[in-house]
Amino acid sequence: MKKTLLILSFLISIAISSQEFQFEEVIKVDSIVTKDELFNRARSWFGKTFSNEKFVIATEDKSAGEISGNGSMTYKANRIYFGVAAVEGDIDYKINIFVKDGRYKYSFHSFRHTGSYIGASNPISYGLLTKSDEAPKPSRGGASNKAWNDIKEVADKKIKKTIESLKEGMHKKYEGSQD
């Protein structure tokens, strides 16, 4: 019985510590704002926020009220640590925006870190970002909690700016509206 409880608590702690790094929220707007208007605002925001809209948008379903796509940000280290040049690189992620009359939901998730090639040296990539404080084993070398936490801090800061931009864009009347 003790072994079963110990194994169960261990599995639960692993599941909790490795939860995906994500940002999600439901936002209520003026109740007279239609689903179509919010959809147009979201699509406009995608086009203004990302340089190549066709590359970014993967799903665009106006009747279902969903726009989904892919985003990317550059990771430049805030700290100095061993192997920093090979760790600096890109953080790719997925975006979902769901709209209904008077509200919308956003989800930024599936953040993946990929390091950079430095000369003949292979990149150091940490892969899927999670909420765990302990760094996973990267693509090469030993795990570095300093690098792992810096990657997540930079991603957190940049994505919060992107979320603020989305919120501003979703509150501005769509330029193609008839009013």
Q: Which domains are assigned to the chain? A: 17-171 (3.30.530.80)
Give the per-residue pLDDT at 14: 46
- pLDDT tens-digit profile, the chain (179 residues): 655 544 544 444 444 446 999 999 999 998 899 999 999 999 999 888 887 655 678 899 999 999 999 999 999 998 888 888 999 999 999 999 999 999 999 999 999 999 999 888 899 999 999 999 999 988 888 778 999 999 999 999 999 999 999 999 999 888 775 54
- SS3 assignment, position 115: strand
User: How many C-beta atoms surround the C-beta of residue 117 within 10 A?
Assistant: 11
User: How many C-beta atoms surround the C-beta of residue 175 within 10 A?
Assistant: 8
pTM for the structure as a whole: 0.83
Bridge partners, 112 (sequence order): 92, 128
Closest by CA to 20, choosing from 91, 95, 110, is 110
